[in-house]
Amino acid sequence: MSFTLHEAAPAKVNLALHVTRRREDGYHDLESLIAFADLSDDVSAAPAEADTLAISGPFAANLGSGSGNLVLRAIDAFRNRWPHLAPVGVQFHLVKNLPVAAGIGGGSADAAAALRLMAKLSPEAIPVQDMLGLAATLGADVPACLLSRPLVARGVGEILSPLQEFPALHLVLVNPLVPVATADVFRRLRAHDNYPLPALPEPLTRPAQLGLWLAETRNDLQPPAVKLVPVIGEIVSRLAETAGCIVARMSGSGATVFGLFGSEGQAHLAAQQMREHHPEHWVAAAPILRP
Ligand SMILES: C[C@](O)(CO)[C@H](O)COP(=O)(O)OP(=O)(O)OC[C@H]1O[C@@H](n2ccc(N)nc2=O)[C@H](O)[C@@H]1O
Ligand SMILES: Nc1ncnc2c1ncn2[C@@H]1O[C@H](COP(=O)(O)OP(=O)(O)OP(=O)(O)O)[C@@H](O)[C@H]1O
């Protein structure tokens, strides 16, 4: 009997990102409030005789389906860790809806979705902590993407504090379709020892609470990314001027910029305005996934 399992791989948004330390190994310690948008790649899996990956969707052409693809790397990692729990082969299909190298962790989300699918195909339950440990070996954002809920990430992204509550909010995402390599942005970072995130209000239930908190925070990677790709700064300014925008800021290492809104109507109107001003950019609106 053949069957296909599906997992959404939602876009990751760094609502705030402070770089607090440059480590001996060249990586940087971060503190980041991360949320996920109800906007995702789709990863599906069916048992097969061998592992294969097919890719379709709007950004399929920007990505190879060879062994470098994070979906296949995730499957390999799972097989190495739990050889007796993995099926003989799995036929994967990735629908690539999210832009690549865009600061919204599409590749990390795909890897996390592939791990969740492998766990679903396993005959035994796998403890979440073990899955998180394996996820961390695949990339800094993969553990957060495994949970795909609002959380604070520390270290390089492996220390996670999920939030129990989160206000109902909407995101507008704008990407100028200029891929940005994370390493290039970190290389241009001037200050490596910025102050940590302020404490989050508890419980965090109202949009206004989050708005006040966000005003005290930044994305430390935004200034170096703007130097690299100046249009990022223009998008932030334009989005910040749209009606109801609580904050406009770059996500991750860019180039995607997010705007945060209290209502779906405001978010859709802002997205429409951004599309009119920048028809060449990728623009999307979606609610934040809540705990
Ligand atoms: C910026 C974030 O998107 C925030 O969520 C992530 O920390 C990036 O994670 P990622 O895409 O998995 O990053 P990687 O592909 O592992 O890193 C690429 C390069 O960026 C630099 N890098 C990355 C993450 C980090 N915490 N410190 C770094 O200095 C390193 O030079 C690394 O070689
Ligand atoms: N399934 C995948 N989807 C996207 N990128 C992938 C995938 N597999 C491998 N990659 C590679 O990973 C790199 C980063 O892609 P991704 O879209 O995750 O970047 P990002 O959004 O900037 O991530 P982050 O926010 O974690 O820095 C790209 O250079 C891409 O070629």
For residues 232 and 156, state if they share a domain.
no
For residues 45 and 126, state if they share a domain.
yes
For residues 17 and 153, state if they share a domain.
yes
User: Measuring from atom 18 of ligand 1, which residue has the nearest CA?
Assistant: 183
Which ligand is closest to the CA of 24, given by its number? 1
DSSP letters, 83-120, are: GGGS-SEEEEEEE--SPSSSSS-HHHHHHHHHHHHHHH
CATH (domain of 279):
3.30.70.890
For residues 153 and 71, state if they share a domain.
yes
Does 259 show up as a binding residue in the annotation?
no
Single residue among 161, 193, 213 that ends a domain in this structure: 161
CA–CA separation, 78 and 189 (whole Å): 34
For residues 28 and 172, state if they share a domain.
no
Single residue among 161, 191, 221 that ends a domain in this structure: 161
For residues 177 and 143, state if they share a domain.
no
Q: Residue 185's pLDDT is what?
A: 97
Does 223 show up as a binding residue in the annotation?
no
Q: Residue 192's pLDDT is what?
A: 84
Single residue among 161, 195, 222 that ends a domain in this structure: 161
Q: Which domain holds residue 123?
A: 5-161
For residues 75 and 14, state if they share a domain.
yes
For residues 111 and 175, state if they share a domain.
no
CA–centroid distance, residue 206 to ligand 1 (Å): 31
pLDDT tens digit sequence for 13-38: 999 999 999 999 999 999 999 999 99
| CB contact set of 241 (below 8 Å; sequence gap of 6+) | none
For residues 139 and 214, state if they share a domain.
no
Number of domains in the chain: 2
pLDDT tens digit sequence for 33-60: 999 999 999 999 999 999 999 999 999 9
For residues 16 and 139, state if they share a domain.
yes
CA–CA separation, 143 and 129 (whole Å): 10
User: Measuring from atom 12 of ligand 2, which residue has the nearest CA?
Assistant: 107
Q: With a cut of 90, say whether residue 82 has pLDDT above it.
A: yes
For residues 40 and 178, state if they share a domain.
no
Q: With a cut of 80, say whether residue 2 has pLDDT above it.
A: no
Supply the ipTM of this predicted assembly: 0.95
Q: With a cut of 60, say whether residue 272 has pLDDT above it.
A: yes
Q: What percent of the chain has pLDDT over 70?
A: 99
Q: Residue 193's pLDDT is what?
A: 86
User: Measuring from atom 7 of ligand 1, which residue has the nearest CA?
Assistant: 140
CA–CA separation, 112 and 7 (whole Å): 9
| CB contact set of 94 (below 8 Å; sequence gap of 6+) | 41, 42, 43, 53, 54, 55, 56, 57, 60, 65, 69, 71, 110
Which ligand is closest to the CA of 187, given by its number? 1
CA–centroid distance, residue 49 to ligand 1 (Å): 35
Q: Are 214 and 260 in contact (CB under 8 A)?
A: yes
For residues 16 and 150, state if they share a domain.
yes
Cα 242 to Cα 77, 208, 266, distances in angstroms: 44, 17, 9
Q: Are 175 and 99 in contact (CB under 8 A)?
A: yes
User: Measuring from atom 5 of ligand 2, which residue has the nearest CA?
Assistant: 107
CATH (domain of 27):
3.30.230.10
Which ligand is closest to the CA of 107, given by its number? 2
Does 107 show up as a binding residue in the annotation?
yes
pLDDT tens digit sequence for 127-179: 999 999 999 999 999 999 999 999 999 999 999 999 999 999 999 999 999 99
Q: What percent of the chain has pLDDT over 90?
A: 95
Query: How would residue 1 be classed by pLDDT, with cut points 50, 70 and 90?
Result: very low
Question: Which of 7, 17, 55, 70 gets mutated to test ligand 2 (max ligand atoms within 8 A of its CB)?
Answer: 70
Question: Which of 59, 67, 100 gets mutated to test ligand 2 (max ligand atoms within 8 A of its CB)?
Answer: 100
Q: Are 281 and 176 in contact (CB under 8 A)?
A: yes
Atom of ligand 2 nearest to the CA of 104: 21
The response to whether residue 224 sits with its C-beta less than 6 Å from ligand 1 reads: no
Q: Which residue has the higher pLDDT, 191 or 58?
A: 58
Q: Residue 257's pLDDT is what?
A: 98
| Beta strand 89-95 pairing with 28-48 | antiparallel
